[in-house]
């Protein structure tokens, strides 16, 4: 339930390109979310995270932000996203666009808001 398996990671370059080209997106500061329904994936949701190298030059900082985002997603994905999807499958990109590295509690609060907004858009 609170795991994040390899099947849930979006690694297919063709799907990532299609997501950025044809997907829907919205902003939930400090995150920008792009998503697109697909049929060909195994898991209900496949996710890719990105943190801009231009904004955070040091890999240590980018990795810290990605770890915090991943943890907040992992803890809340089941009740806020998976339970509302029914039989739909989506691919998802979460980009961090914040100007500074924020505390985990703030990121978690925003991730909850983001997942609730995403589940509302997907179920339309």
Domains and CATH numbers, the chain: 6-119 (3.30.230.10)
Residues 70-121: pLDDT tens digits?
Answer: 999 999 999 999 998 888 999 999 999 999 999 999 999 999 999 999 999 9
Give the mean model confidence (pLDDT) for residues 44-52: 96
The pLDDT value given to residue 121: 92
For strands 24-28 and 31-37, give the pairing: antiparallel
Residue 103 · residue 64 · CB < 8 Å: no
């Amino acid at each position: 339930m609170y795991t994040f398996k390899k099947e849930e990671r979006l690694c297919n370059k063709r799907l990532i390109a299609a997501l950025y080209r044809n997907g829907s997106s919205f902003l939930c500061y400090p995150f920008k979310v792009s998503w697109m329904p697909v049929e060909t994936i195994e898991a209900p949701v496949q996710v890719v995270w990105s943190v801009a190298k231009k904004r955070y030059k040091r890999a240590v900082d980018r990795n810290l932000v990605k770890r915090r985002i991943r943890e907040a997603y992992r803890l809340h994905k089941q009740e806020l996203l998976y339970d509302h999807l029914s039989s739909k499958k989506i691919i998802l990109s979460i980009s961090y666009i914040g100007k500074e590295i924020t505390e985990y509690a703030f990121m978690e609060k925003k991730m909850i808001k983001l997942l609730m907004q995403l589940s509302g858009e997907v179920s339309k």
